[in-house]
Amino acid sequence: MKKTTPVMGWNSYCNCDCSPSEKIITDAADALVRLGLSDLGYNMVGLDDGYLGRERNAEGQLVWKEDIFPHGMKWLTDYIHAKGLLAGCYLGCGLTTWWGDAGTLGHEEEDAKRIAEWGFDLVKYDNHPTDEDGPRNLVAEYIKMGLALKNCGREIIYSMCEHGSTRPWLWAHGVGDMWRVGGDIRDNFSRETDQYRGILGAMDEYGSDSTPHTRAGGISDPDFLVVGIKGNSQFMELGNGLTDAEGRTQFALWCMTSSPLIIGADLNKLDEESLRTLKNKNLIAIDQDPLVIPARRVSSEYHGRELWVKELSDFRWAVAVLNRGPNPNRFSFRWEEVGLAGGIGMTVRDEWTGETIPEQFGVFSCDVDSHDTRVFTLTPEL
């Protein structure tokens, strides 16, 4: 059975752009285990663009760059699997990948079988338009790749990355396991460009159309976690990077919306606070809740306050209180605002600290630092 809750793990792109190496990937696998992240569910090691050769071999097969992966792909996946982890790779839906390596468009069946032989467990299939393209039908292209993976002889998670251009959340549940909903994310709270988004922009775009369509086995993906990068990846910078509070906000919103938790930072350079955020068991449990019901934004910004509510299993609800404003503030919300009955008592638990707050009736107040997000679970009491 394929994973039905959001994928968790690490990917090479934010760390090294399109210049991965065997050592970068094996170091990441080692770090996931050493830091205890694999014990919490971070079990996918993703190899992104830049590992394939520019040309295919004489048999028309994909080849890897032997200078940076001297032991080859099967050795690499065996190494990852020996750690109890899964291995992900990258293919380009185009004549080339974004880095200019051999593309898979028109070679879907043979490439699906190739990565299956190499032992990969996930493929990120990334759309790359070029000037040489003729007319293209992305829906048809992504369906074709899905069929090729279905028939490749190995169970492979299909991560569709056409950047939300065809609104895949409306048609792809029977085709892929997860799909990107927009452009690339960068290490910033709110700054935007035509091509890149900060975490608020990613969530604003994500929350508008695609969020309601996430469900078990069909996950909308607003892109990687940039928690903990903090200037250690220059090409990911867009402004000043994330503060610790802003990192908590990204993690909280990604967990609330049942999004994949794929770390982009160099695992060997994570500071203590970023690691503490990424290892919060309570937030991870919210992301991995078996119902896979994504949060709804039930209240837009009001004096900086924004509310999200997520239905959980076992008679529980999660509520995230985001402070978009520049100053700390004290915010309140009523049960009715999050769709609950006002006359019922609730036990409230702070999911960052694990502290249980005595039974509350109808209204709850909390202090929220600037750009931070508090997350609570509400459990009804008889």
Catalytic residue set: 126, 184
Asked whether the beta carbons of 10 and 45 are under 8 A apart, the reply is yes
For 262-321, what is the HEC assignment?
EECCCHHHCCHHHHHHHCCHHHHHHHCCCCCCCCEEEEEEECCEEEEEEEECCCEEEEEE
Which residue intervals of the chain are DSSP H helices? 13-16, 22-34, 73-82, 108-118, 138-150, 199-209, 244-256, 272-278, 281-287
Asked whether the beta carbons of 141 and 181 are under 8 A apart, the reply is no
Asked whether the beta carbons of 45 and 29 are under 8 A apart, the reply is yes
Token duo for residue 121: 């467990």
- The crossing angle, in degrees rounded to 10, of helices 22-34 and 73-82 is 10
- Site of tokens 């760059």: 65
Cα distance between residue 317 and residue 296, in whole Å: 11
